[in-house]
Amino acid sequence: MGDRPGHGSRDEIYYTQIVVITAMIVFATGFLAAARVLVPVAGTAAWISVLIGGAFGLGIAVLAGYLAARFPDHSLVRMAERVFGAPLGKLIGLTFAAYCTVVLGLGSRESVLAMWIAFLQTTPPVLISAVFYVLIIYAAYLGIEAIARVSLIFFSLVVASLLVLTALASPVAVPGRLLPIVGNGLGPVMRAGFLAASYAGESIVVLAFIRHLKDKRGASRAMATGVATGMAIMAVATGFGVMMLGVRGISRVTFPVLETARMVGFGQFLERAEILFLALWFSAALLKLATVFYASITSVADVLGLRDYRPLIIPYALLGAALSLIPKTVLETFDYLNVFVRYSVWYTIALPVVLVLGAVARGLREGGDDIRDRDAG
Amino acid sequence: MTGMRARTQPSVAPGGLRFGRAVIVLACLFAAASLSGCRDAREIESVGFVLGLGIDETADGRIEVWAQVALPSAKPAEEEKQQSWTARSVGDTVWDAVRQLNDRSTKVLFRAHVRALVFGERFARGGVARALDVLARDGQFRYKSWVFVTSDPVGDVLGVETKQSSSAALSLDDLMRNTARSSTAPRSRFLDLLTSIEQPGDQPLLARVSLVGPTEAGGQAEGEESTAEAGRGQGARGPEGPEGAKGTPDTEPNELRVEGSAALCGDRMVGWLDAEETAMALMVCNKLPAYSFVMPMPGGEGGTIGFDMIRSHADTLFPKGIHTGHAAELVTEVVIRITGTVDIREVLSSEQLMSMQSLDSLQAGISRHLEAGVRRLVDAAQNRLGCDVISIGECVRRRVPAKAWEEDVAPTWHDQFRAITIVPDVRFTVGKRGMTMQSPRPVH
């Protein structure tokens, strides 16, 4: 069974773009509230737990890259179909699409809440969500190549903004608040590391479009670099949050990174500059959500055997927007997020492991197609 | 081939394309009209920019809130117009009072530019947490706003008309930026208050603001008092601050002075620290950017000598260690080792410090002088205030497992703090002595 030619197959993305997309998927929405999830568990060592989670993520990235090298022209659904046959492969594809949909729903809800609570208090969240989804729809319509190109531009700006924020935050930060270095102890730090791994694990979304990478030999390295970059950003954000707000402060606030941004300013002439940072961060979140949305609809299109994913865009966007509105309150949203962070890591580890083990067991050799398929082609 | 089909959408008819474009253009026009914010826009004249907030408690336990609102002039002709307006309301809670202020104001009160938050002493002694919740939830409120406590009527403090600034809140903002040069008051921001009340080992000090008469503010009336104060830090006037516990000036007050601090235990104020004690507390906590003081010339020559402290560093040492697992005897002895450098700014003495021996004697004298100041602070913290305002607990917290701190130590830290033996060990050296080696003197 060879890969069927399909949607956006002419799109090409490059090594750096995969690095950037992976990094954005890892940190763009999670870092808004990751510290609030991790600090109560790990205490002052929450930033270390993020790095431990990053180590888990590197493993996932290496496995994903291995799959990409083994099945260079396959999307995730096609890989699964090839390894386990069509019925089971489609089922795995559906679970992947469901995972992406949950990431999309929770990510968009979290971003919308951050904008709504902190800035657009009189704007109905449905309207903010609608604007988000209109932009996501447009991005998905343009395809992964366009998303990757725009991501490359915005990622540089986001990193620059974070560097500026770090520099401005340094006078306010109290490094001693990171002590004791082991926080609540090794056990809790490892447990928090496992929670943090769920953010790194979101990098498996890249499997949906890794086949567009021009040179598959760099897939593992690109994804691993992206995961490392994303988790490093998250570790810095968490560490500075603790240094500025303390353990109790972090555990109390709604969005630690927003609070951190509120505390800094450019001297006296430009106060309350957090909106400048947030505009960039929400652009990053938007691009992440567009990527996840693209991964969702292309996976569903693969499962349904559609040649083009575009007819699915509008219905799926409506579904995603509806899902994102299920949590009625902030508390409910964070409850869903906590459950997701706690359990999704298992899926993100299991998916590449199962596919790699299946491929090895089936003896599918590197290059993806065996001799019989190639002859048939 | 299929991929090309997917990208180019050849099946779409030209008529459909035109219709699609028309829909997009109409959608953009609709969005521009409805999402641009013009529908419910507020003109700047209708916004009341709150520069200062004051909160106090009435005798019957109700909450008073003052808001000082800027009244910007639209054109130069209106320069003579009142530049700020201070409103007061009373409610059962801070939010209740703020709500009533909003109802009474003809402008929409916008709290993103609050420069100064002034707590009355009665309110601070009752617990400032009653105000923190509403302010921390407020997305508009600035975390970098200065926080003060005053023993004077809050309304009078915010009502002071100064010649240097257009409102009391802006004047306080300027004063706080300038106190960094002398550090007779902590640079207490709302952010610091929020983070420190949650840590029993790192209790907040809030700057004290007082009303003073023009002569006091100008420093003209000190005269003999200044001589009597030789040996004290800048502006020190006794443990209860500039005007004593009541803080009522004799002359009609029309200036603000930021000096000394209010010590909080948790969220409740437990007492005042004078300017010198405040400076010593900041020095022990490594938060003292600058400090100037005058002391008697060591030795028998008489006269005084003035300094600028240009550098100091404090280390908190635990010579007998920290014993986790025995909460009652966690820490028994603490040594606060402070090193630093001072520059000579004024010598009014026949001793001109021209020998190494005299310089050594001076350095020992400075160290003794500052050590005595730290001892007074420690005594005040342990006995008068009963609260760890010198962050010993924070040093302990950093050295013990988080669980041990949270469960065993933090709940009883204030009691333990009072029983600790705290030994200051101060070693200062003299740095620069200025552009002249000796005082210019007439020949007799």
**Domain containing residue A133: CATH number:** 1.10.4160.10
Residue of B nearest to A118 (CA): B139
Using the 8-state DSSP alphabet, how is residue B405 labeled? Answer: I
Of the candidates A246, A272, A307, which has its C-beta nearest B198's C-beta? A246
B199 vs A: CB within 8 A: yes
Confidence at residue B334, expressed as pLDDT on a 0 to 100 scale: 92
- Dihedral over alpha carbons B408, B410, B416, B420 (to 10 degrees): 110
Per the CB < 8 A criterion, the answer to whether B129 and B228 are in contact is: no
Q: Helix or strand or coil: residue B49?
A: strand
A185 vs B: CB within 8 A: yes
Tens digits of residue pLDDT in A273-328? 777 778 888 889 999 999 999 999 999 999 999 989 999 999 999 988 888 888 88
Side-chain half-sphere CA neighbours of A253 within 13 A? 32
Give A262's contacts in chain B (Cβ within 8 Å): 142-143
The tokens describing B60, both together, are 């019957």
Q: Is A15's pLDDT higher than 70?
A: yes
Give B174's contacts in chain A (Cβ within 8 Å): none
DSSP lists the bridge partners of residue A270 as A266
Q: Helix or strand or coil: residue B92?
A: coil
Tens digits of residue pLDDT in A247-261? 888 888 888 888 888
The tokens describing A53, both together, are 């989670």
Starting from the edge strand earliest in sequence, which strands make up the sheet with B291-296, in order?
B291-296, B304-317, B333-348, B421-430
Query: SS3 sequence, B104-123?
Result: HCCCEEEHHHCCEEEEEHHH
A146 vs B: CB within 8 A: no
What CA–CA distance (Å, rounded) separates B10 from B19?
16
Cβ separation A307–B6 shorter than 8 A = yes
- Using a 10 angstrom Cβ sphere, with 0-12 exposed, 13-18 middle and 19 or more buried, the burial of residue B407 is exposed
**Of B250, B53, B215, B209, the residue nearest B141 (C-alpha):** B53
Tens digits of residue pLDDT in B331-365? 788 999 999 999 999 999 888 888 888 889 999 99
| Sequential DSSP letters for B268-307 | EEEEEE-HHHHHHHHHHTT--S-EEEEEEPSSSS--EEEE
Residue A377 covered by a domain: no
Helices A15-27 & A274-304 angle (0-180, nearest 10)? 110
Residue A84 covered by a domain: yes
Cβ separation B194–A182 shorter than 8 A = no
A180 vs B: CB within 8 A: yes
Give B199's contacts in chain A (Cβ within 8 Å): 246, 248
What average pLDDT does the segment A89-100 reach? 94
Interface test with B, best of A9, A144, A186, A306 (most B CBs within 10 A): A9
Q: Is B236's pLDDT higher than 50?
A: no
Phi-psi group of A267: left, alpha or beta (phi > 0 → left; psi -120 to 50 → alpha; rest → beta): left
Residue of A nearest to B144 (CA): A263
CB pairs below 8 Å between A and B: how many? Answer: 78
Per the CB < 8 A criterion, the answer to whether B101 and B111 are in contact is: no
Q: Looking at CA atoms only, how far is residue B347 from chain A in angstroms?
A: 36
Identify residue A294 by its one-letter amino acid code: Y
ipTM above 0.90 for this complex? no
Domain ranges of chain B: 42-284, 290-434
Using the 8-state DSSP alphabet, how is residue B221 labeled? Answer: S
What CA–CA distance (Å, rounded) separates A106 from A289?
10
Q: Is B328's pLDDT higher than 80?
A: no
Give A307's contacts in chain B (Cβ within 8 Å): 2, 5-6
Residue A167 covered by a domain: yes
Contact residues, B window 248-287, toward A, CB-based 8 Å cutoff? none
Per the CB < 8 A criterion, the answer to whether A282 and A111 are in contact is: yes
DSSP lists the bridge partners of residue B421 as B333
Cβ separation B143–A7 shorter than 8 A = no
What average pLDDT does the segment B204-219 reach? 76
Of the candidates A259, A263, A308, which has its C-beta nearest B6's C-beta? A308
B23 vs A: CB within 8 A: no
Q: Is B110's pLDDT higher than 90?
A: no
Confidence at residue B402, expressed as pLDDT on a 0 to 100 scale: 85
State the fold for domain B290-434: GMP Synthetase; Chain A, domain 3 (3.30.300)
Tens digits of residue pLDDT in B117-162? 999 999 999 999 999 999 988 888 888 899 999 999 999 999 888 7
Cβ separation A180–B142 shorter than 8 A = no
A2 vs B: CB within 8 A: no
Interface test with B, best of A10, A128, A129, A314 (most B CBs within 10 A): A10
Give B112's contacts in chain A (Cβ within 8 Å): 272
Give A5's contacts in chain B (Cβ within 8 Å): 1-3
- Average pLDDT of chain B is 81
CA distances from B56 to A265, B83, B271 (A): 29, 24, 16
Of the candidates B144, B195, B402, which has its C-beta nearest A265's C-beta? B144
**Of B371, B176, B173, B384, the residue nearest B263 (C-alpha):** B384
Cβ separation A176–B394 shorter than 8 A = yes
Tens digits of residue pLDDT in B392-434? 999 998 888 888 888 888 888 888 888 899 999 999 999 988 8
User: What kind and span of H or E run contains B423?
Assistant: strand B421-430
- With vertex at residue B346, the alpha carbon angle to CA B340 and CA B352, rounded to the nearest 5 degrees, is 95
Chain centroid offset of residue B55 CA? 16
Contact partners, residue A174, CB within 8 Å, separation at least 6: A243, A244
Q: Is A62's pLDDT higher than 70?
A: yes
Cβ separation B401–A185 shorter than 8 A = yes
Q: Is B10's pLDDT higher than 60?
A: no
Contact residues, B window 357-396, toward A, CB-based 8 Å cutoff? 394
**Of A326, A294, A12, the residue nearest A137 (C-alpha):** A294
CA distances from A296 to A100, A147, A165, A277, A289 (A): 6, 15, 33, 29, 10
Give A245's contacts in chain B (Cβ within 8 Å): 194-195
Assign A243 a pLDDT band (cuts: 50, 70, 90): very high
Q: How many residues does chain A have?
A: 377
What CA–CA distance (Å, rounded) separates A9 from A209?
10
- With vertex at residue A179, the alpha carbon angle to CA B329 and CA B411, rounded to the nearest 5 degrees, is 40
The tokens describing A96, both together, are 């992947």
Cβ separation A271–B402 shorter than 8 A = no
Computed over its alpha carbons, how large is the radius of gyration of chain B?
29
Cis peptide before A180 (omega within 30 of 0): yes
Chain centroid offset of residue B197 CA? 14
Give A135's contacts in chain B (Cβ within 8 Å): none
Q: Name the residue with tokens 């999402």.
A: B35
Of the candidates A10, A176, A272, which has its C-beta nearest B398's C-beta? A176
Of the candidates A9, A245, A262, which has its C-beta nearest B195's C-beta? A245
Cβ separation B3–A8 shorter than 8 A = yes
User: What kind and span of H or E run contains A107?
Assistant: helix A86-118
Per the CB < 8 A criterion, the answer to whether B203 and B264 are in contact is: yes
Give B194's contacts in chain A (Cβ within 8 Å): 245, 249
What average pLDDT does the segment A122-132 reach? 86
Q: Looking at CA atoms only, how far is residue B402 from chain A in angstroms?
A: 5
Enclosing domain of residue A267? 15-332+339-356
Residue A1 covered by a domain: no
Give B391's contacts in chain A (Cβ within 8 Å): none
Q: Is B71's pLDDT higher than 80?
A: no
User: What kind and span of H or E run contains B89?
Assistant: strand B84-91
B174 vs A: CB within 8 A: no
Cβ separation A179–B2 shorter than 8 A = no
Q: Looking at CA atoms only, how far is residue A76 from chain B in angstroms?
A: 18
A310 vs B: CB within 8 A: yes
What CA–CA distance (Å, rounded) separates B204 from B281?
11
B75 vs A: CB within 8 A: no
What CA–CA distance (Å, rounded) separates B269 from B39?
47
Give B142's contacts in chain A (Cβ within 8 Å): 262, 271-272
What average pLDDT does the segment B247-267 reach? 76
CA distances from A208 to A79, A89, A302, B258 (A): 10, 14, 10, 62
Phi/psi at B23 (5° precision):
-65, -40
Q: Is B367's pLDDT higher than 50?
A: yes
Do strands B304-317 and B333-348 pair parallel, antiparallel, or not at all (unpaired)? Answer: antiparallel
The tokens describing A187, both together, are 């056990």
Phi/psi at B38 (5° precision):
-75, -25
| Domain count within chain A | 1
Residue of B nearest to A127 (CA): B35
Residue A376 covered by a domain: no
Give A43's contacts in chain B (Cβ within 8 Å): 402
Q: Is A373's pLDDT higher than 80?
A: no
Q: Is the dihedral of CA A300, A305, A309, A314 positive or negative?
A: negative
Of the candidates A179, A247, A272, which has its C-beta nearest B142's C-beta? A272
A256 vs B: CB within 8 A: no
Confidence at residue B320, expressed as pLDDT on a 0 to 100 scale: 75
Give B403's contacts in chain A (Cβ within 8 Å): 184-185
Contact residues, B window 392-421, toward A, CB-based 8 Å cutoff? 394, 397-403
- The region of weakest confidence among A175-179, B91-95, B215-219 is B215-219
Cβ atoms within 10 Å, residue B398: 18
Q: Is B4's pLDDT higher than 70?
A: no
**Of B157, B162, B59, the residue nearest B117 (C-alpha):** B157
- Average pLDDT of chain A is 86
What CA–CA distance (Å, rounded) separates B316 from A95?
56
The tokens describing B390, both together, are 């010198």
What average pLDDT does the segment B8-19 reach? 60
Give B394's contacts in chain A (Cβ within 8 Å): 176
Residue of A nearest to B287 (CA): A174
